[in-house]
A and B are shown apart, each in its own frame.
Chain A
Amino acid sequence: MSIRDYVTLRVGGQLFGVDAARVHDVFHPRGLTPVPLSRTEIAGVLNLRGRIVTAVCARRRLGLGPRPADAPEPLAIGLEVHGDSYGLVIDSVDEVLKLDDEKFHAPPGNLPPRWAEIIVGVYQLEKELLIVLDPHTLLDAAHLKAA
């Protein structure tokens, strides 16, 4: 039995989790420079303490609708994939949960393809399901093209 830490977050009301070891920081994505001709998922690039971070919009990546106008300022979680710094722009961050591997399930087979490939698995929490995201496929250029 092993326990893992997950940073839990919300995008469009849905609860997601990312392996806490992968999350470098949480920040407000401000001062974004848009990247012309890039894919719609790309929110832009920004300066995070001297590092250039590429912000990717989780809503667009997951095919969810735009953020409501009255929503609070979005947050981003800092992730590193293939040596590049990314910020995944999300609606809000919840708590860090310790979860037992035994409660982990493979993703169900009836997910839309866009979701299926970026989801590692699902935890059944008491109130709702926690969908565990794979930052690698989420932010990988090849997978993005396929999506």
Chain B
Amino acid sequence: MRTELRFVASGGQGIILAGVILGEGAINDGKEAVQTQSYGPESRGGAARSEVIIADEEIDYPMVIAADCLVTLSQPGYDKYRTGIKPGATVIVDEDLVDVDEPPAGCTFHRLPFTKAADKLGNRIFTNIVVLGSVCAITGVVSQESLLEAVKANVPKRFLESNTQAFMEGVAIGRQALAQKG
């Protein structure tokens, strides 16, 4: 079983780190994971892409062929990658950053308030951790314990509490979204 997740955003939104943490969470679960990234030469702005493959067995091809889950935090990212998904894929966009007229056919679509939630927590820098919480709740591809452990291992010690809070907020947003879809 091979699960392919793709995160796209603008450089600086922390999406590459989100992929790294998700991969590490999968490793904590005892699974195999590969994370790859693509970004331009600039450290802020520009298109950033982070891909994670999670599987029970050794992973050969490390890139996404067709995503089981697409998460986008930028309009150009959504426009470019909305077609590269599997039938029945989960597509998640930030409700303030991505306009979607018509969700891709056959997918489970979620428009979620990641940036808003991060703002409420006091800093937009938490957006990527909120995203991880929601992806965890919606896809279940990594266990919550393992992913939270990976979050904690990858953030500065003095921000442990606020990042844990951001993650749990993301989980709550994800659960709510699932409940609404019934």
| A and B part of one assembly | no
Binding site for A on B (CB under 8 A): none
